[in-house]
């Protein structure tokens, strides 16, 4: 059976720790290998991306493989072919699917119907590769993960969900501050808690930020939610990471953003460009963790 990576919970606790260690080692060594020599990875992107596409294409090439990029206009995922048919056909051509899509069910069906590994490069419900990069970045800056508190301020979206999952695999506390009606899925929270995660959901950004080691945010309206921009801007007023909110965090606290950022909305330009911002380290680390994830997949398959 192929090894898929759809959420962080696909790792055992031991694998989760080893993967971050491996990503750190790969980064330190500017790692290259021929692990994927002769192998093709198809990147199927229904949602446009800068960081995700480039980091994955480079990761595949650094491991000796060949990436093929397909947009929603090139694939059948957004059209009338059943997903199971797409999965079966692409499994005959390639060795891995790296998919950035809307509904998480598409990833699940691709994994169930195909015969090659499927990697979640983003879905509306989860963004696990991003959070793995965030974890590596936090470990680099703090020297540890144990005992860290991460406050996510904003929409209870795929970033929030994957952070919550991360708390079930790593010794961090996650506090999500979201407006009423925009909290993370209670089922995601409860599952993570059942696995030992320390997770809290509040409606007050100040409560979440107070004493946190990291403040994290994302855009208020994600791709596919553009029609809700005005409504969301009103609902999320007061949920901005700015100097006042940062002042409530622990001394030396750092700021994360998965990018792209809407400066002046969910985060101020001053914070993005200030000494607390580590978003560029965070963006770079997508490459390193994704190499480690691909290695994990292909050495375990």
Mean of pLDDT values over 167-195: 98
- 80 annotated active-site: no
pLDDT band at 175 (very low <50, low <70, confident <90, very high): very high
Residue 161: active-site member: no
Q: How confident is the model at residue 131 (pLDDT cuts 50, 70, 90)?
A: very high
Q: Is 100 a catalytic residue?
A: yes
- Evaluate if pTM is beyond 0.95: yes
C-alpha separations of 13 from 167, 171, 196, 251, 301 in Å: 11, 10, 11, 30, 18
CA atoms within 13 A on the CB side of 273: 5
- Which one is catalytic: 95, 169, 258, 288? 258
Domain of residue 58, residue span: 8-127+286-299
Q: How many domains does the chain have?
A: 2
Residue 43 has pLDDT above 90, yes or no: yes
Do 101 and 188 belong to one domain? Answer: no
Annotated binding-site residues for L-ornithine read 158, 218, 222-223
**Residue 41: active-site member:** no
What pLDDT, in 10s, does the model give residues 226-272?
Answer: 778 889 999 999 999 999 999 999 999 999 999 999 999 999 999 99
Give binding residues as ranges: 49-52, 76, 100, 127-130, 158, 218, 222-223, 258-259, 286
Residue 151 and residue 63 in one domain: no
Structure tokens that stand for 294 in this block: 């691909």
Task: Give the CATH number of the domain where residue 219 resides.
Answer: 3.40.50.1370
Torsion from C-alpha of 142, 279, 230, 165, nearest 10 degrees: -50
Active site annotation includes 85: no
Of the candidates 95, 124, 155, 218, the residue annotated as catalytic is 218
90 domain residue, yes or no: yes
Give 71's strand partners: 45
């Amino acid at each position: 059976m192929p090894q898929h990576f759809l959420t962080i919970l696909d790792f055992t606790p031991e694998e989760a720790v080893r993967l971050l260690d491996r990503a750190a080692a790969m980064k330190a060594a500017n790692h290259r290998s021929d692990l994927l020599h002769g192998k093709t990875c198809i990147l199927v992107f229904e949602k446009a991306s800068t960081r995700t596409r480039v980091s994955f294409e480079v990761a595949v090439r650094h491991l000796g493989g060949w990436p093929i990029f397909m947009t929603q206009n090139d694939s059948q995922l957004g059209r009338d072919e059943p997903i199971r048919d797409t999965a079966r056909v692409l499994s005959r051509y390639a060795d891995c699917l790296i998919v950035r899509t809307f509904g998480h069910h598409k990833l699940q069906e691709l994994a169930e119907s195909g015969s090659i590994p499927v990697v979640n490069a983003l879905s509306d419900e989860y963004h696990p590769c991003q959070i793995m990069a965030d974890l590596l970045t936090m470990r680099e800056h703090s020297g540890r993960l144990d005992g860290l508190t991460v406050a996510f301020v904003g929409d209870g979206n795929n970033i929030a969900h994957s952070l919550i999952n991360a708390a079930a695999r790593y010794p961090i506390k996650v506090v999500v501050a979201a407006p009423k009606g925009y909290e993370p899925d209670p089922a995601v929270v409860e599952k993570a808690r059942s696995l030992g995660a320390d997770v809290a959901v509040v409606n007050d950004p100040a409560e979440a930020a107070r004493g946190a080691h990291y403040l994290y945010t994302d855009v208020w309206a994600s791709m596919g939610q553009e029609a809700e921009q005005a409504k969301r801007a009103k609902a999320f007023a007061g949920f901005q990471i700015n100097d006042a909110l940062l002042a409530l965090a622990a001394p030396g606290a750092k700021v994360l953003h998965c990018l792209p950022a809407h400066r002046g909305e969910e985060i101020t330009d001053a914070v993005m460009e200030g000494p607390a911002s580590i978003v560029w380290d965070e963006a770079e680390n997508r490459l390193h963790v994704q190499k480690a994830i691909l290695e994990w997949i292909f050495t375990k398959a």
